[in-house]
Structure 1
């Protein structure tokens, strides 16, 4: 797992900087979302570098059965901190339970945490409430409990439909179960997304086509497809270092991205972010869109990150902070009445502007050219000439990636930032 970022200390009470405080009457202007990190998994997949733990890794003092109660302590702290900063009173637009595997907790526990969020701030009438899940971690009954509690969406970690690919990724579910869980979720009234990974060592282009066709056969309205990245510190990274498996090939990954885009587009799912496709705007993941827009959010759970924009004073733009990583330390701090924050970053206006470009370039609507640093606006014409940015959109003053640009999005961003 990666180390936490460097940062300045978070006050024991979690208080936000004075310059974050909202001017009177403006607190409700910015949307607000909540992320809930559930750090438990049955096994650790060899490619995963998320802040997750199996029962054997947790050790004493980290009680999975008590996790909902612990998370609700942070919800209560968050409500106090935001109220003190004049940022309370905003209904929650989106809630996202991620992990780990949130559905390792009983559905009743997830429902209890959601009720706590509703009690603290209120859920917007049209709130989107998502949980991630593994296909082997739900039942028709548990999905109905979630839907009855106010969940609106479930995102299943399918990753592949091919057994040998799943084995390399160390995924435990039977791919034949995926159509069943999609049907169960839809019968419960939930919108459904399927998540895929491409570029796994040993995965052929035909294997990838099989996975895409299996996804489309379920009729889901949202698909995420991410290129495998072998992160340092993971089991797979060690396997690569020892020569046991090969690193993903960039040309192979590009071919698989193009195949995904072809098949998903033909099936009526359009891209709205480099790695995400939806049947229409109503099926896009609004919680992730909030991240890309720079909305406020509070991240509950060990290792979770949060962000609140600052007052527009030309110097300060916002504060981002992150919690301690281990569930045992996280629970102990909250039980003592202290913030679980491990550190925070105070963003300047220039830093926030840079992040706006980094995120805005990746979405389909793109970015206004005026958002670029004046020194980088001339680069747009060159990127259009190389087929990486849409020329028609550029004439309209928008920076929008072509498909080739999506394949090279990181390179495009580097050319558009100082």
Structure 2
């Protein structure tokens, strides 16, 4: 297994992450659509879960054999709604096609209301050892506004069941910046009292095409950026006081519990991906699957490609992307040509003057985390270098 007990924010771990072999599996089934969600999900199609898992195994078998996987992340959607035995068959297909490393990290996303000790034990039997709970808030009113089905007390019950079942790492996802929510501090206290191994804090965002987008367009109050910045600062202080170490903009972990899958993506490592709308990066090509369930199923079942599109990532595009992904990490990223170009640009010098970025031992590091998006915009605005004849 790649991870050790070293700090999640160490430079050594960030650099070694490029060697991680990871795979993502998307399970799209949900009881209902959350108003802020723009992922590839379906509702009222639970009768298709077994068929879908079989289609996943067919897609996995079509993938060219790679290398033993260090990290498998099963997300959604709501994977915890699916029969653990069906999910186990998907893991078996991955192991048969690519192999697993000696101690792979095998994660599943779960909703508290779908969780029980019996389900947790069945998922452990299937091969999962890490769980990420979509807690989102510990306030009933806020959960209702976010379209969630669980109550705050169900989160603790789910965490305790996961521990009893033997899950070695537990994450809580929480959302800040919900309009009208004055309970963020209480949510952090409640979440950290459960002593999670990992904490992910995400700002509520208004994505085009979502119900939240339509509500805001119709005049409803949207998230306030200044309040969200304050909420992030509150989260950072609370998490670090609880012994969690921030290693990326939105993620904190105890030593040994940074997520292999996340580390691989931010290091621009290759990774596989399977299922509805899934995005992968392999052999310098980014590709994505169909987002329509019936289209995906039909393609997988007849042995055809499930890809809806692809894009080569080479040259300057690849170099800019490497830095774009890497600046999200506390450890920063090796500057390289794109980082150096940003540093020496007018915008880069302005950012450096205000203490936003720093060139430290050949690494580009964002020191004012809340301005990471501004650094990313400056990076993407860089012109490509002239072609050498």
TM-score (norm 2): 0.89
Give the Å deviation of 1:395. 4.2
The alpha-carbon deviation at position 377 of structure 1 amounts to: 2.4
- 1:57-82 deviation digits (Å, cap 9, x = unpaired): x59xx72232211110111111xxx2
Tell me what 1:37 maps to. Answer: 26
Q: Is the 8 A contact 2:323 2:335 kept in 1?
A: no
Where in structure 2 are the equivalents of 1:218-257 lying within 5 Å?
218-243=194-219, 245-257=220-232
Runs of 4+ in structure 1 deviating by more than 4 angstroms, as ranges, are none
Q: How does 1:265-276 map to 2 (within 5 A)?
A: 265-276=240-251
Query: Structure 2 vs 1, CA of residues 31 and 270 (structure 1 numbering), >3 Å: closer, same or farther?
Result: closer
1:221 is displaced (CA, Å) by 1.2
Q: Are 2:371 and 1:408 equivalent residues in the alignment? A: yes
Aligned with 1:172: secondary structure? coil
Unaligned runs of 5+ in 1: 1-28, 310-317
2:220 is equivalent to residue 214 of structure 1: no
Matches of residues 13-412 of structure 1 in structure 2 within 5 Å? 31-55=20-44, 58=45, 63-78=48-63, 82-83=64-65, 88=66, 90-190=67-167, 191-204=169-182, 207-243=183-219, 245-280=220-255, 282-309=256-283, 318-372=284-338, 374-379=340-345, 381-390=349-358, 394-402=359-367, 405-412=368-375
CA distance in 2, matches of 1:163, 1:262: 24
Partner Cα distance (2:98, 2:370) in 1: 40
**Mind listing any 5+ residue stretches in structure 2 that lack a counterpart?**
1-17, 383-389
Kept after mapping to 1: 8 A contact 2:19/2:264: no
How far, CA to CA, are the matches of 1:30 and 1:158 in structure 2?
A: 31
Q: In 2, are the aligned partners of 1:201 and 1:248 still within 8 Å (CA)?
A: yes
CA contact (8 A) 1:357 1:371 kept: no
Q: CA RMSD in A?
A: 1.7
Query: Is the 8 Å Cα contact of residues 53 and 90 (structure 2) preserved in structure 1?
Result: yes
Deviation at 1:122, TM superposition (A): 1.1
Q: Distance in 2 between matches of 1:386 and 1:69?
A: 54
Give, in whole Å, the separation in 2 of the partners of 1:52 and 1:248. Answer: 24
Residue 7 of structure 1 aligns with which residue? none
Distance in 2 between the 1:239 and 1:374 partners? Answer: 42
> For residues 256-313 of structure 1, what are the alpha-carbon distances to aligned partners after superposition, in whole Å with 9 as ceiling and x for unaligned?
0000001001111111000000011x1011111111111221211011111113xxxx
C-alpha deviations, 1:97-144, integer Å up to 9, x for none? 010001110111111111111111111012110000000112101111
Q: TM-score, normalised by structure 1?
A: 0.83
1:33 is displaced (CA, Å) by 1.6
Alpha-carbon distance in structure 1 between the residues aligned to 2:340 and 2:269: 25
Tell me, in whole angstroms, the C-alpha distance in 2 between the residues paired with 1:216 and 1:375: 41
| 2: CA distance, partners of 1:46 / 1:186 | 31
Report how far residue 334 of structure 1 moved.
1.4
How far the C-alpha of 1:148 sits from its partner, in A, is 2.3
Aligned residues: 361
